Amino acid sequence: MEIRSLRLFVAVAEAGGFARAAQREHTVQSNVTAHIRKLESALESELFDRSGRRVSLTPAGRQLMDYARRILHLHDEAENRIAAAGEVAGPLRLGAMETAAAVRLPPMLRSFHAQWPSVSLSLNTGPTGDLVDAVLADELDAAFISGEPGDSRLDAHTVFAEELVLVTDVDIQSLTPADHLREHTLIAFRETCAYRRQMDAYLAAQGVAPRRILEFGTLDGMLGCVSAGMGATILPLATVQHHLSRYQLVATALPPEFARVTTSVIHRVGADARQPLKAFLELVEAHADLSAAAA
């Protein structure tokens, strides 16, 4: 049985419903349902009577409730005592856009690992939309996304400013990025990528549609194809500068209103009270850089 599952079990029992428990725990109802089903499968018992307007505990559920509260109390007490002793340990599940994972995160992760070697770090990459969904579903503790999510269930802290540029293999001379893409292929992440949406907004404002769009799942794949002359993409300038030694890349400025974007770290409301996320967020704050296009 997972601690998270027990915590959600107690929340459903106390709130009297799955939707209210999800709101209380700052997650989505489907995540609560999945955790309860996992518990019921592990225990081979139904824990809730779902026949009424409010769910209620079955006899097996009432029996588990006593154990769950004691287990959670001991778990939280152990966390607090270890934190008070200055030790940070346990899993930390992070997510990030590929550009942030390649350029921004390595110095932070190196410092964090050196300071707290007992923390088990994991990092998954993906576009902003997918990362937001993963944090809400409690699949990630925190994630680095473009902009802010605009969701009251999430806390967001702006940590980096970026300058987006058009990336090509040759100098586009006097052409604007929009004129270049009118005749060339746009290489991009999926539509859930915030940078892709920014480029779409820029092109729409110019009344331009790319000649063709190729979607890629990896940053290296995109940069390799741009360097080979297959098309152009849009990325933070710091990312381009970081990869110049490996790829033939040329950066062209976008109009300021479309170039400046920010990177935020997000987590569920209230989750920052738990270690080791609290320790990681403190380190992130120390590494924040709001000057655009820092190399």
**Burial class of residue 118, CB neighbours in 10 A (0-12, 13-18, 19+):** exposed
Residues 239 and 107 in one domain: yes
For 165, phi and psi rounded to 5 degrees?
-135, 155
Distance CA 185, CA 117 (A): 45
Single residue among 60, 84, 108 that ends a domain in this structure: 84
Q: How many domains does the chain have?
A: 2
Q: What is the pLDDT of residue 169?
A: 94
Contacts of 19 by beta carbon, 8 Å cutoff, 6+ apart: 29
Residues 61 and 75 in one domain: yes
Nearest residue to 72 via CA among 278, 274, 281, 276: 274
Residues 184 and 160 in one domain: yes
Please give the residue range of the domain that contains residue 52. 3-84
Single residue among 63, 84, 105 that ends a domain in this structure: 84
Q: Are 249 and 167 in contact (CB under 8 A)?
A: yes
DSSP state of 231: -
Distance CA 91, CA 88 (A): 10
What CATH number is given to the structural domain containing 34?
A: 1.10.10.10
Q: What is the pLDDT of residue 18?
A: 92
Query: What are the pLDDT tens digits along the chain (295 aa)?
Result: 889 999 999 999 999 999 999 888 888 899 899 999 999 999 999 999 988 788 999 999 999 998 998 898 888 777 766 665 667 878 899 999 999 998 889 989 999 999 889 888 999 999 999 999 999 988 899 999 998 888 899 999 999 889 999 999 999 988 888 889 888 899 988 878 888 888 889 999 989 888 889 999 889 999 999 999 999 999 999 999 999 989 999 999 999 999 999 999 999 998 877 778 999 999 998 888 776 544 3
Residues 79 and 107 in one domain: no
Q: Are 280 and 272 in contact (CB under 8 A)?
A: no
Written as one letter, the residue type at 276 is: P
Q: At what angle do helices 59-84 and 3-15 cross, to 10 degrees?
A: 120
Residues 107 and 196 in one domain: yes
Single residue among 84, 112, 141 that ends a domain in this structure: 84
Q: What is the pLDDT of residue 138?
A: 85
Write down the pTM of the prediction: 0.67
E strand or H helix that includes residue 177: helix 177-183
Residues 35 and 151 in one domain: no
**Burial class of residue 177, CB neighbours in 10 A (0-12, 13-18, 19+):** buried
